Amino acid sequence: MRMLNFILVMIATMLCTSACMSDTEDISSNMEKFKEWQRVANENIRALQEIVQAVQDGVRVTEVKDAYDPDSDDEYMYTWFYLEKQLPIKITQDVPGAEDNEEDAGYTPLIGIKLYDGDSRYYWTVDGSWLLDSDGRRIPVASVAGESSFVPIIQINKRTGKWEILYNKRITKNLLSAMPLKVPLKAVFSDCKQVGTNYELTFVGGGSISIPKYAPEAEINETIDLTLRVPQPEAGELPVSSFESSKYSGTVVWDPDATATGNGAFKNGMKYTATVTVTAKEGYSFVLTDGGIRHDKADVKYGNSNAAKVIVCTLTFPETGMGTGMDREEEINSIDLTDFISMPVAGIFPPLSFTVAGENGDYCSAEVLWYYSEVGFSDRVEEGFFRQGVQYRAFITLTPAKGYTFGENAITVTHSDAATSYPEWFDVVRENGADTPRRHGNIYFPVTQ
Write out pLDDT tens, residues 300-330. 998 766 677 889 999 999 988 644 443 456 7
pLDDT at 206: 66
Among 316, 340, 374, residue at a domain's last position: 316
The answer on 236 and 183 residing in a single domain is: no
154 or 8: whose pLDDT is higher? 154
State the average pLDDT over residues 290-309: 81
Q: Residue 446: pLDDT above 80?
A: yes
Specify the pLDDT at position 23. 47
Do residue 155 and residue 257 come from a single domain? no
What is the chain's alpha carbon radius of gyration, rounded to the nearest angstrom?
35
Whether residue 128 sits in one domain with residue 41:
yes
The band of 21, judged by pLDDT with boundaries at 50, 70 and 90, is: very low
What does the pLDDT read at residue 191? 76
Least confident of 11-20, 190-199, 268-277: 11-20
Residue at 17 is within a domain: no
CA distance 101 to 172: 29
Number of domains forming the structure of the chain: 3
Residues 154 and 235 placed together within one structural domain of the fold? no
Residue 14 lies in a domain: no
What are the tens digits of pLDDT across the range 208-262? 777 777 666 778 888 888 999 999 998 878 899 999 988 899 999 999 987 766 6
Q: For 42-76, how does the pLDDT look when each residue is reduced to its tens digit (9 = 90+)?
A: 888 888 888 888 888 877 777 888 776 666 666 67
Please indicate, yes or no, if residue 222 is contained in any of the structural domains. Answer: yes
In the chain, the percentage of residues whose pLDDT exceeds 70 is: 77
CA–CA separation, 306 and 308 (whole Å) = 6
Classify residue 141: in a domain, yes or no.
yes
Q: What global pTM score does this model have?
A: 0.45
Domain membership of residue 9 (yes or no) is no
Q: Is residue 61 domain-shared with residue 145, that is, in the same domain? A: yes
Q: 219, 217, 239: which is closest to 229 by C-alpha?
A: 239
Answer yes or no: do 307 and 193 share one domain. Answer: no
| Pair 287, 343 in one domain | no
Query: Are 440 and 353 within one domain?
Result: yes
- Do 308 and 193 lie in one domain? The reply is no
The reported pLDDT for the residue numbered 360 is 65
My answer on whether omega of the bond before 180 falls inside 30° of 0, hence cis, is yes
pLDDT at site 2? 42
Q: Would the pLDDT of 180 be above 90?
A: no
Q: Which one of 186, 212, 238 terminates a domain?
A: 212
- Please write the tens of the pLDDT for every residue from 323-371: 444 345 678 888 999 989 999 998 888 999 999 887 667 889 999 999 9
Domain of residue 292: give its range.
218-316
Note whether 293 and 239 are same-domain residues: yes
Q: Does 416 fall in a domain? A: yes
Instruction: Tell me phi and psi for residue 389, to 5 degrees.
Output: 75, 25
**Is residue 31 located within the same domain as residue 76?**
yes
- Looking at residue 258, its pLDDT comes to 75
Of 212, 236, 262, which closes a domain?
A: 212
DSSP state letter for 5: H
Instruction: Note whether residue 227 is domain-resident.
Output: yes
Q: Is 263 left (phi over 0), alpha (psi -120 to 50) or beta?
A: alpha
Give, for 8, the enclosing helix (H) or strand (E).
helix 2-56
In a domain, 335, yes or no: yes
Q: Do residue 363 and residue 267 come from a single domain?
A: no
Phi (first) and psi of residue 190, to 5 degrees: -110, -20
